[in-house]
């Protein structure tokens, strides 16, 4: 009886170890949670690719379903756009989906990002990155955008993922930090932290300083001033820390708060 018990225990132990050594395969299952549509606006066709919840239980399903906007940011900003025109020529939705998923599987950037995400969270086989609070804030403020100056001299502002200054200011892109910062900001744009209200107050402060006669120079200086003021904003800092604490088990990085 004792020998049987020890044998059974060893089998359970071996099975557990074996499962722990298995890698979570996500790159062969993008079709479980990625969709694409062809839409028309003002007689122009465009593609709308997005992440949706998966109905298939898997090693990665909780990660995807609990963080759809996060993964959607990665899909939007870290996939190749070289095949865009070719995909627009697809004859129907089935062909569009087939071509898109085939290209996505061969997209080295996206597959690398998703493999890294799973490896540092679900698999726990890769060490998480270390991100300083200063670096997180440096990325987060770039989503607050002064887009232009109106004819009356007013700033046109927006919080946006499509138009921001990350590409022109961040020499090394950090996909997970960007995704976390943007999705956190949008989650708390209104409500408890009221980042919209904080943003408006920052822009009002900028109006108090004459930043130039030349419109292009004024716009550039205003954008820089806004970055600095938002970086010092306590509501933004507190929100990012709170969101990190609430989601740190599913994030591929460790946040180190600056003293």
How many contiguous H segments (helices) and E segments (strands) does the chain have? 12, 6
Residue 11 maps to a domain = no
- Distance, in Å, from the CA atom of 81 to the CA atom of 87, rounded to the nearest integer, reads 10
Q: What pLDDT sits at residue 110?
A: 95
- Distance, in Å, from the CA atom of 69 to the CA atom of 151, rounded to the nearest integer, reads 36
Residue 222 maps to a domain = yes
Q: What pLDDT sits at residue 21?
A: 55
User: What residues contact residue 256 under an 8 Å CB cut-off, 6+ apart?
Assistant: 130, 131, 132, 133
User: Are 222 and 251 members of one domain?
Assistant: yes
User: Are 107 and 224 members of one domain?
Assistant: no
- Paired tokens of 111: 């597959």
pLDDT at 9 over 60: no
pLDDT at 66 over 90: yes
Q: What pLDDT sits at residue 259?
A: 52
Residue 116: burial class (beta carbons within 10 Å; 0-12, 13-18, 19+)? middle
Which of 88, 120, 152 marks a domain boundary?
Answer: 120
Q: What pLDDT sits at residue 163?
A: 58
Q: Are 159 and 185 in contact (CB under 8 A)?
A: yes
Q: What pLDDT sits at residue 169?
A: 83
Q: What pLDDT sits at residue 14?
A: 37
Q: How confident is the model at residue 16 (pLDDT cuts 50, 70, 90)?
A: very low
pLDDT at 69 over 90: yes
Q: What pLDDT sits at residue 73?
A: 95
pLDDT at 138 over 70: yes
Considering only residues 240 and 160, tell me which one the structure prediction assigns the higher pLDDT: 240
Q: Where is average pLDDT lowest: 34-38, 115-119, 161-165, 252-256?
A: 161-165
pLDDT at 115 over 60: yes
Q: What pLDDT sits at residue 142?
A: 93
Q: What pLDDT sits at residue 88?
A: 87
Domain count, the chain: 2
Give the residue among 207, 208, 135, 210 at the shortest CA–CA distance from 173. 135
170: left (phi over 0), alpha (psi -120 to 50) or beta: beta
Residue 5 maps to a domain = no
Look at the pTM and tell me if it is higher than 0.75: yes
User: Are 159 and 212 members of one domain?
Assistant: yes
- Distance, in Å, from the CA atom of 104 to the CA atom of 75, rounded to the nearest integer, reads 9
Which of 97, 120, 143 marks a domain boundary?
Answer: 120
Region 155-170: what's the mean pLDDT?
78
Which of 120, 144, 175 marks a domain boundary?
Answer: 120
Residue 9 maps to a domain = no
Q: How confident is the model at residue 84 (pLDDT cuts 50, 70, 90)?
A: confident
Q: Are 253 and 129 in contact (CB under 8 A)?
A: yes
Range of the domain at 88: 24-120
């Amino acid at each position: 009886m004792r020998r049987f018990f020890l044998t059974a225990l060893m089998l359970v132990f071996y099975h557990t170890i074996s499962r722990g050594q298995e890698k979570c395969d996500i790159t062969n299952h993008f079709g479980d949670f990625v969709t694409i549509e062809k839409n028309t606006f003002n007689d122009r066709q465009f593609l709308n690719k997005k992440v949706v919840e998966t109905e298939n239980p898997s090693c990665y399903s909780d990660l995807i379903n609990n963080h759809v906007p996060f993964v959607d940011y990665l899909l939007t900003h870290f996939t190749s756009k070289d095949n865009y025109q070719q995909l627009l020529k697809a004859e129907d939705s089935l062909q569009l989906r087939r071509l898109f998923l085939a290209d996505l599987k061969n997209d080295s950037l996206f597959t690398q990002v998703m493999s890294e995400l799973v490896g540092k969270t679900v698999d726990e086989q890769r060490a998480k990155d270390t991100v300083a609070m200063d670096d997180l804030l440096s990325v987060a403020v770039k989503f607050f955008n002064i887009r232009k100056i109106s004819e009356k001299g007013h700033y046109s502002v927006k919080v946006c993922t499509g138009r921001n200054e990350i590409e022109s200011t961040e020499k090394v892109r950090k996909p997970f930090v960007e995704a976390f910062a943007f999705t956190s900001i949008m989650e708390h744009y209104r409500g408890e932290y009221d980042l919209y209200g904080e943003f408006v107050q920052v822009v009002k402060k900028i109006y108090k300083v004459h930043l130039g006669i030349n419109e292009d120079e004024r716009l550039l200086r205003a954008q820089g001033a806004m970055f600095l003021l938002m970086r010092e904003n306590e509501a933004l800092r507190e929100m990012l820390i709170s969101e990190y604490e609430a989601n740190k088990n599913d994030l591929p990085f460790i946040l180190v708060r600056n003293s």
